[in-house]
Amino acid sequence: MNSSPQATAQQAFERLLGAATLLINTTPALSEFAAVPDDLHYSPATPIAKPVINSLQHAMPRASHRTQPLIDALHAVIPYAQWRTTYTAAQVGTRFVNTYGYIELYGPSGHYVSQQSRAFIGYWGADLFYPPHRHEAEEVYFVAAGSAAFAIDDQPAQMRRVEEVQIHTAFKSHSMQTGADNGVLCLVLWRGPGLADNATLNDG
């Protein structure tokens, strides 16, 4: 057995990829949106820590029987992952950047590289407002733990709970509000043109 740090990291990511694959394959709203790519290859990466790790470890909201394996596998990759925050404190505030973050499980710059589609796992802590933003790629959010209210343009927000989905079409402005008492953890898939881009704030 090879127990080098790199091998341990890869084993943790294999478990996470397996849990995400199972969820996607057994959730038609996800598998019909974007199948798990068949060109994935693992790309060893230097870990990047972010303050959100503390929230993940101490304030994870409730999951379901189906989604708990993803949460458990995510906990195992925390020290090996490249945690990202697209935005700066100047854009969204210090509390937002300190209690939000995501990893790119697969995609153009993911832990597994693919040009076919993209999968993020993101966490937003309690009582956060993710201001209106947009991107060209089409997107589906799948709530794996907790809940949040999602709004498209100026339409009334829709509460999405564990195992529910929210779809955003190309360039459509959307925002999100977490509850006063719980954050949300989502598996997010992207497809189509603009796959390698970042989201941008409308007022960024």
Q: What is the contact surface with Zn ion in residues (CB under 5 A)?
A: 139
Judged by beta carbon, residue 67 or residue 86, the one nearer Zn ion is: 86
Tokens of 11: 């084993």
Tokens of 196: 């390698």
| Cβ at position 19, least distance to Zn ion in Å | 22
Judged by beta carbon, residue 9 or residue 139, the one nearer Zn ion is: 139
Judged by beta carbon, residue 60 or residue 137, the one nearer Zn ion is: 137
| Cβ at position 134, least distance to Zn ion in Å | 7
Judged by beta carbon, residue 80 or residue 85, the one nearer Zn ion is: 85
Judged by beta carbon, residue 69 or residue 104, the one nearer Zn ion is: 104
Rounded Cα distance between 62 and 119, Å, is 21
- CA 153 vs CA 66, 86, 99, 200: distances in Å: 31, 21, 25, 15
Residue whose Cβ sits closest to Zn ion:
139
Tokens of 128: 């956060």
Judged by beta carbon, residue 104 or residue 139, the one nearer Zn ion is: 139
Which of 1, 199, 203, 202 lies closest to 100, judged by CA? 199
Rounded Cα distance between 198 and 177, Å, is 20
| Cβ at position 104, least distance to Zn ion in Å | 14
Contact present, 193 and 172 (Cβ < 8 Å): no
The dihedral built from the CA positions of residue 114, 117, 123 and 124, taken in this order, carries a sign that is positive
Rounded Cα distance between 196 and 165, Å, is 22
| Cβ at position 135, least distance to Zn ion in Å | 6
| Cβ at position 133, least distance to Zn ion in Å | 6
The dihedral built from the CA positions of residue 48, 164, 200 and 54, taken in this order, carries a sign that is negative
| Cβ at position 34, least distance to Zn ion in Å | 14
